[in-house]
C-alpha cells in the first residue's frame, strides 16, 4: 500500500451539518423506538465462501450474525441493524495471525414521511409518499491490513413507491471518515475525512403473491469520494445485496413470518472506493475490491 496521508478536517459549516444530521437521526430513532405502531425484530445468520477484501485474496469464508429491527411510527419508518462478521484465516486478524478478522458494522436509517408530518397524503402515480432519509454507519474491524474505523452520516430526500411491500429510493449526501491502521507496516493515520459525496440508494421487500416468497435487499450507487488515506483517487462503487426469502413457518406450523430462509447474493464493485481494475501485482487492490458472493441466509423473527 502507498504511504498514508493526513487530511485537514472539514469546514465549520460541514461539521455543523454533520452534527445536525446525526442529532436528527438519533432523535428520530429514539422517537421511533418509543412510539412504534408496528415492529419486526429478528436475529439472523448468513454464510458464504466467496467474500473478498481489497489488497487480500478472494474466496474468504465468513459467518455473519445479525440483529435487525424495523419499526413504523406515526411519522415514518426506522431501520436498525448490527452485523458481527467473522472471517476465516484468509482475512487474518493481524499480521502473522492464523485466526480470522472480526468486525462489527452498525447501520441506522430513519425515513421521515413528509405527508404524515403535514397530515395529508402526498401521492401521485406509482408513488405513495415522499420523505427525508437520515442515518449513520459505524464499523470497527480488527484485521491485518486496514482495521477500519468507519464513521458516516447521511441525509437526503426519499421517495416511497406504491408496490406490494415496500420500495424506498433515496438520494443522500455522505459524510464519511476513517482512521485505519496497518499491522504489516505498523503505520496508521489520524481520522481522515473524505470529500462529501452522494449516494443513490434503494431498499425493498416485495412479497411474491401467496407463495411465501419475498424478494428483498438493497442497492447503492456511491460516487467517488476524492482521494483516499493513501493519496490515491477513489472510484464510484456499486453495492447490491439481494435475497429471495421463503417463509418456512408456513410448512412447519409456526406463526407467519417466524422463520425465513433463502439464498442471497452480494455484488460489490470497487469496494470502499478501491479501483478493482488495478491488480495486486501492480500495487492495486486487485480482485479483492470486486466481491461476487453467493450466501445462505436464515432469519428468526420475534
CATH code: domain of residue 272: 2.40.230.20
Planar angle of CA 234, 169, 167, nearest 5 degrees: 135
pLDDT score recorded for residue 50:
96
pLDDT score recorded for residue 222:
98
pLDDT score recorded for residue 52:
94
pLDDT score recorded for residue 5:
47
Task: Categorise residue 212: left if φ over 0, alpha if ψ from -120 to 50, beta otherwise.
Answer: left
2 in any annotated domain: no
Question: How far is residue 200's CA from residue 222's CA, in Å, rounded to a whole number?
Answer: 7
Query: Whose CA is closest to 190, among 52, 14, 9?
Result: 9
Low pLDDT (below 50) residues in the chain: 1-9
Structural domain boundaries, residue 278: 12-301
Q: CB burial class (10 A; 0-12, 13-18, 19+) of residue 54?
A: buried
pLDDT score recorded for residue 213:
97
Question: How far is residue 91's CA from residue 113's CA, in Å, rounded to a whole number?
Answer: 41
6 in any annotated domain: no
Buried-state track 212-247, b at ≥16 Cβ within 10 A, e below 16: bbbebbbbbebbbbebbbeebebbebebebebbbbb
Q: Which H helix or E strand runs over 302? A: none
pLDDT score recorded for residue 23:
60
Question: How far is residue 4's CA from residue 18's CA, in Å, rounded to a whole number?
Answer: 25
The pTM for the full model equals 0.89
Task: Categorise residue 217: left if φ over 0, alpha if ψ from -120 to 50, beta otherwise.
Answer: left
The DSSP output letter for 232 is P
Q: Which H helix or E strand runs over 205? A: strand 197-207
pLDDT score recorded for residue 11:
53
pLDDT score recorded for residue 18:
54
Task: Let me know: does 100 contact 88? Beta carbons within 8 Å.
Answer: yes
157 in any annotated domain: yes
pLDDT score recorded for residue 31:
55
Q: Measure CA of the first residue to CA of the last residue in the chain; give whole Å.
A: 45
pLDDT score recorded for residue 281:
86
pLDDT score recorded for residue 14:
53
Q: How many domains does the chain have?
A: 1
Amino acid at each position: 500500500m502507498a504511504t498514508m496521508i493526513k487530511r485537514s478536517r472539514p469546514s465549520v459549516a460541514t461539521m455543523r451539518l454533520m452534527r445536525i444530521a446525526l442529532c436528527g437521526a438519533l432523535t428520530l430513532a429514539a422517537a421511533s423506538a418509543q412510539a412504534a405502531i408496528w415492529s419486526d425484530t429478528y436475529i439472523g445468520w448468513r454464510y458464504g465462501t466467496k467474500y473478498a477484501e481489497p489488497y487480500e485474496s478472494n474466496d474468504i469464508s465468513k459467518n455473519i450474525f445479525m440483529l435487525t429491527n424495523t419499526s413504523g411510527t406515526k411519522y415514518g419508518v426506522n431501520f436498525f441493524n448490527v452485523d458481527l462478521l467473522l472471517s476465516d484465516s484468509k482475512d487474518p486478524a493481524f499480521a502473522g495471525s492464523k485466526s480470522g478478522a472480526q468486525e462489527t458494522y452498525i447501520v441506522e436509517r430513519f425515513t421521515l414521511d413528509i405527508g404524515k408530518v403535514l397530515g395529508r397524503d402526498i401521492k401521485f402515480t406509482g408513488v405513495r409518499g415522499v420523505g427525508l432519509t437520515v442515518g449513520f454507519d459505524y464499523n470497527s474491524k480488527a484485521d491485518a491490513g486496514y482495521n477500519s474505523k468507519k464513521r458516516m452520516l447521511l441525509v437526503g430526500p426519499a421517495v416511497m413507491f406504491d408496490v406490494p411491500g415496500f420500495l424506498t429510493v433515496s438520494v443522500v449526501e455522505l459524510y464519511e471518515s476513517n482512521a485505519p491502521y496497518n499491522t504489516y507496516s505498523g503505520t496508521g493515520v489520524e481520522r481522515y475525512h473524505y470529500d462529501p459525496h452522494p449516494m443513490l440508494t434503494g431498499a425493498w421487500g416485495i412479497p411474491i403473491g401467496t407463495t411465501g416468497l419475498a424478494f428483498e435487499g438493497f442497492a447503492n450507487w456511491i460516487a467517488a469520494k476524492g482521494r483516499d488515506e493513501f493519496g490515491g483517487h477513489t472510484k464510484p462503487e456499486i453495492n447490491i445485496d439481494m435475497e429471495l426469502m421463503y417463509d418456512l413457518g408456513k410448512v412447519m406450523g409456526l406463526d407467519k413470518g417466524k422463520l425465513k430462509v433463502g439464498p442471497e447474493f452480494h455484488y460489490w464493485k470497487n469496494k470502499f472506493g478501491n479501483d478493482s481494475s488495478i491488480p495486486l501485482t501492480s500495487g492495486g487492490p486487485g480482485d479483492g475490491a470486486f466481491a461476487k458472493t453467493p450466501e445462505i441466509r436464515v432469519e428468526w423473527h420475534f
